[in-house]
Amino acid sequence: MLRPKMILIDLDGTLVDSVPDLAYCVDEMMVRLGRPPRGAAAVRNWVGNGVERLVRRALIGKLDGEPPDADYALAYPLFLELYSENTSGRSMLYPGVREGLDYLRGAGYPLGCVTNKAAQFTLPLLKDLGVLDDFGIVVSGDTLPEKKPHPLPLLHTARHFGVDPAESLMIGDSVSDVKAARAAGFSIICTSYGYNHGQDIREAHPDGVIDSLAELKGLVAGAA
């Protein structure tokens, strides 16, 4: 049983399946630009590094590379407008999230949410899905000068709670979460679902892999 003193949880792909809203906004953006829509399957493979990167990937139709600056300058404000109006209407908590959060809170753990999503989208999404109040701190992609996979967001949250990174646990879904946790000195558990660009998260060698946050009850002991 793990006995951390603080637990941080990623948002997109770990707590929330946000692809339905993101895909709607990507496709609507593309149509308004006079281009063919990309579809949810493609968008699911592109998310996880913030909406700026998602827009760039949507424009070029692949994971790596850069669109022309003029295309991005047109597309990005359009996407922001669409996503501000469609942040949570189609998104949903993954099965087991509510049970997992209830267990961790009941066990006395300080909880933080650390995401690369901008605060203007993060806070409404957490609130609309009824989990904002579960977290003692929310660190978004634009809260600090760096975001995951840089360790700063995790270290910032550890300082907030006054906890040693070596006694801290990160729960995420992507190689970005694993890299951030390793760099910060955190333990890391990943979900088998979520957004990792089509790669099995086990290849990143997290400390453990779970199929549902409800499984945390069997992995994480009650807080000391």
DSSP E strands: which ranges in the chain? 6-9, 16-17, 92-93, 111-114, 137-139, 168-172, 187-191, 208-210
At 93-112, the pLDDT tens digits run: 999 999 999 999 999 999 99
CA angle 70, 72, 75 (to 5 degrees): 115
Q: Cα-flanking dihedrals φ and ψ of residue 117, to 5°?
A: -70, 140
Burial of 183 by CB count in 10 Å (0-12 exposed, 13-18 middle, 19+ buried)? middle
Question: Which of 10, 12, 134, 173 is the catalytic position?
Answer: 10
142 classed as catalytic: no
Instruction: Using DSSP, state whether 19 is helix, strand or coil.
Output: helix
Complete domains list, the chain, with CATH: 6-17+91-218 (3.40.50.1000), 19-85 (1.10.150)
Q: Residue 223: its pLDDT value, please?
A: 60
> Is 49 a residue whose pLDDT tops 90?
no
> Is the full-model pTM beyond 0.75?
yes
> Is 44 a residue whose pLDDT tops 60?
yes
Question: Whats the size of the chain, residue-wise?
Answer: 224
At 133-173, the pLDDT tens digits run: 999 999 999 999 999 999 999 999 999 999 999 999 999 99
What is the chain's mean pLDDT, rounded?
96
Rounded mean pLDDT, 51-62: 96
Q: Residue 111: its pLDDT value, please?
A: 98
Contacts of residue 55, defined as CB under 8 A and 6 or more positions apart, other chains included, come to: 26, 29, 72, 75, 76, 79
Q: Residue 1: its pLDDT value, please?
A: 81
Give percent above pLDDT 70 in the chain: 99
Per-residue pLDDT band at 224 (split at 50, 70, 90): low
Give percent above pLDDT 90 in the chain: 94
The single-letter code of the amino acid at 105 is R
